[in-house]
Amino acid sequence: MLRTVGEPRRIDRAIKRLQSALKGIPSRGVRLTWRGGELRTTIHWARDDAYWWAFEPRQAGTTPRDALLLGHAPDAPTKRESITCEINLPRTAADRKVAGIIAADDRGALYLCHSGRMGGSRPGQRKSGFREFLADGVWRKLAWPDGEETEALVIAPLDSPRLTRLLGQFVDAVRRFKAGEPPTARTGLCVEPSIADSANAACDRRLVDVALHEELAKRGLFGGAEDLFSLRGERPQPLFALVADGGPEELAMAVGSLSLASARGGPDVRAILVAPAALADPDSDALQALPFAFVRFRWRGARAVFDGLDDALE
């Protein structure tokens, strides 16, 4: 279970780490507007991930906080931009009154999280509606210093080299939620893991799943929301199990889940195991001996690329 970080020095170090990890092209003197306010500041455009970000200090009564301001931006920002959302992070102690959370896992790894309370911009949108909208997000139980437990959305591990991309996913989800768009349908590509994996692996899993979906779409393997693969009925339907970080428990669960799903599907299913290219050699050799097709993925920046995908689909 994740635990909320409540010590001021640790919170301060985490926020500084977040600021230094985020990348973007600076644009100075930008006028930011939102319902009920505006300010001029420097924003940073994460061009490849279609959003900008900025940090601004806030003071609510006697509670100082930092606001991570975020805006959807598929094109270069202008001198006037609208804020899509902001994540407020308290500086002096854990605070359930604000949505931003710094959390730590059992190993001490730090995460940027969100309570899930999201004010909508359309009539009738409930603050709790974002949880339903992003049901396939990385939601985890969270323990607070006073012993209370809640649930939070894990946006990104602070040490992840893919932090900027993961934050971009969050901004786009908020934009779609506030615009009243329907939730993105789950791809249904991969068998579900039997147990919850680590928050870090789960964040990477979503990126790999999206990249795999895009690669299959390029190959014309989709026939619509109901008929997932257009070649269904003519050849076995691909069914994937994804190993995100290569940990022994995750690997065992993926192999077991794929074996069961393959046995249930019989000859109508082509079982494909997707695992990191950096998987240790003994495990890699063992995987090659399994009765599944085997696809390796590696990271090119924040995008997963796949080796052996075409051969696996034959």
Are residue 96 and residue 211 in the same domain, yes or no? no
Q: Which of 147, 178, 209 is the last residue of a domain?
A: 178
Report the C-alpha gap between 253 and 259 in whole angstroms. 10
- Residue position matching structure tokens 């909208």: 133
Quote the domain boundaries for residue 164: 2-178
Q: Answer whether residue 185 is part of any domain.
A: no
Query: What parts of the chain have a pLDDT lower than 50?
Result: 194, 223-233
Q: Answer whether residue 28 is part of any domain.
A: yes
Are residue 210 and residue 110 in the same domain, yes or no? no
With CA atoms as reference, report the closest residue to 11 among 85, 69, 65.
65
| Per-residue tokens: 223 | 């026939």
Q: Answer whether residue 193 is part of any domain.
A: no
Q: Answer whether residue 242 is part of any domain.
A: yes
Are residue 9 and residue 140 in the same domain, yes or no? yes
Instruction: Count CB-CB contacts under 10 A for residue 148.
Output: 10
Residue 225 confidence (pLDDT): 42
Report the C-alpha gap between 309 and 314 in whole angstroms. 9
Residue 109 confidence (pLDDT): 95
Are residue 209 and residue 173 in the same domain, yes or no? no
Are residue 70 and residue 139 in the same domain, yes or no? yes
Residue 232 confidence (pLDDT): 46
Query: φ, ψ for residue 50 (rounded to 5)?
Result: 60, 45
The tally of domains found in the chain comes to: 2
With CA atoms as reference, report the closest residue to 263 among 284, 292, 288.
292
DSSP the chain: -EEE---HHHHHHHHHHHHHH---EEEEEEEEEETTEEEEEEEEEEGGGTEEEEEEEEEETTEEEEEEEEEE-SS---SEEE--EEEEEESSS--TTSSEEEEE-TT--EEEEE-S----SSTT--TTHHHHHTTTS-EEEEE-TTS-EEEEEEEEETT-TTHHHHHHHHHHHHHHHHTTPPPPPP---BPPPSS---HHHHHHHHHHHHHHHHHHHHTT----SSS--TTBTTBPEEEEEE-SS--HHHHHHHHHHHHHHHHHHGGGEEEEEEEETTS-HHHHHHHHTSSSEEEEEEEETTEEEEESHHHHH-
Are residue 205 and residue 172 in the same domain, yes or no? no
Q: Which of 178, 211, 241 is the last residue of a domain?
A: 178
